[in-house]
Each structure stands twice: as structure tokens, then as C-alpha cells.
Amino acid sequence: MARDIKAPWAESASNSDRLMSAADLARLPESGRGYELVEGRLVRMPPTGGWHGRICIDLGTALNNYVKANNAGMVLGAETGFLVSRAGAPDTVLAPDAMFVARPSA
């Protein structure tokens, strides 16, 4: 199982030197496995265990309760993909366990 040096937590899923884009990632067929894109390289995310899931739900619940009570934005759950790369750089799309998106200021 080869590990990508830029994503040591994930298994490299690319057999090519060609960089992928966020659009390429979105067109992948559903396979039951989670993927992320790290600087244009496709990586397969390993399944997590029960303890990880418990921590994620506790954190997400506490974060969501706070955000809703303060009308601060929204909280999104696991496997929601976010394009986080800088303009002009190879695409990086990550799927965090929980994500806070701030409400735009007026």
C-alpha cells in the first residue's frame, strides 16, 4: 500500500503522473471508497473506526449547537468535499470530518 508523501494518512490511488482536477474527481464513479485530491494527486482514504466516529459526532454536535445559537454560519459533516487549493496551484479537495463555514459579514 503506497503512501503519498503529501498525504501520508492516505493511500495513493493514481497510477499516472497526470495531475487531476477537482472536476476530474467529481466525475469519478461511486466505488464505496472515499477519495481526496492532494495537489492534483488522487488519494484513497482509509476507513475509520468506531472511536473516530464517536469523536466526530461529539465534535460536530457541539460545533453545530454553538454555530446555530450564534447564527455564525453552518457546519457540514464528513465526506463533504472542499476545494482548498490556491488559484493557479494543482487542485486539492479535502473531505474533513466536520467543517465550519462562516456566515458572510454584511
Q: What is the CATH number of the domain that holds 61?
A: 3.90.1570.10
- Tens of pLDDT along 8-65? 666 777 777 889 999 999 998 876 568 899 999 898 887 888 999 999 999 999 999 9
Range of the structural domain that residue 33 is part of:
3-102
* Backbone φ/ψ region at 32: left (φ over 0), alpha (ψ -120 to 50), beta: left
Instruction: Report which residue type is found at 79.
Output: E
Other beta carbons within 10 Å of 37? 29
Residue 94 CA to residue 65 CA, distance in Å, equals: 24
Burial class (CB in 10 A: 0-12, 13-18, 19+), 40: buried
d(CA 30, CA 23): 15
* pLDDT tens digits, 29-38: 876 568 899 9
Domains in the chain, number? 1
Assess whether pLDDT exceeds 70 at residue 80.
yes
Res 1: pLDDT: 45
